[in-house]
């Protein structure tokens, strides 16, 4: 379990939530009354070294601060050597929770976890992988000839 959490550094790194958010897209519409911004077309969200690409992103604001965001279609995540994908992603800034929904997966140097939904509680360093109804989750941990994994810092346990 500890090894799997290393794979999730993309989600738990404090720096991933530290800097300003920059969002680029083909089109942006801001709804002033509801404090929402909708981004459509090759959306790219960047914060420090974290990147999220999707077809559509809706950002919800409270008191001029990002409260939560929903990303739709062809979700691709990247931070360092860690990548991920899903059909939908929801970031809850207040609860410190990132949820990947629909064919969710995270990969690092050949190792990966997969499920229908991956929920990560950033501040608690807790991750839940849920399967489709009646299905199972999947985890692959690659190791080198010495038995070291890319997630174990290169030392065999």
pTM for the predicted model, two decimal places: 0.75
Q: Which uninterrupted H or E stretch holds 8?
A: none
Q: Confidence band (pLDDT; 50, 70, 90) for 142?
A: confident
Query: What are the tens digits of pLDDT across the range 39-80?
Result: 999 999 888 888 899 999 999 999 888 889 999 999 998 887
The reported pLDDT for the residue numbered 155 is 42
What residue ranges in 14-151 does DSSP mark as E strands? 22-24, 27-31, 36-47, 50-62, 65-79, 82-92, 97-108, 111-121, 126-130, 138-140
The reported pLDDT for the residue numbered 25 is 96
The CATH number of domain 2-140, selected from 3.30.450.20, 3.40.50.10470, 3.30.1490.20, 2.60.450.10:
2.60.450.10
Q: Confidence band (pLDDT; 50, 70, 90) for 152?
A: very low
């Amino acid at each position: 379990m500890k090894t799997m959490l290393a794979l999730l550094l993309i989600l738990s790194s404090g720096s991933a939530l530290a800097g300003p958010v920059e969002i680029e897209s083909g089109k942006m519409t801001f709804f002033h009354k509801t404090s929402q911004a909708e981004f459509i077309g090759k959306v790219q969200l960047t914060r420090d070294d974290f990147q999220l690409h999707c077809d559509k992103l809706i950002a919800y604001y409270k008191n001029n601060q990002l409260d939560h965001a929903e990303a739709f279609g062809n979700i691709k995540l990247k931070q360092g050597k860690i990548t991920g994908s899903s059909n939908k992603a929801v970031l809850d800034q207040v609860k410190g929770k990132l949820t990947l929904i629909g064919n969710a997966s995270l990969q690092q140097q050949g190792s990966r976890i997969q499920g229908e939904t991956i929920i990560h509680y950033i501040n608690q360093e807790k991750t839940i992988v849920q399967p489709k109804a009646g299905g199972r989750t999947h985890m692959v941990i690659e190791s080198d000839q010495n038995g070291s994994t890319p997630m174990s810092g290169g030392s065999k346990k």
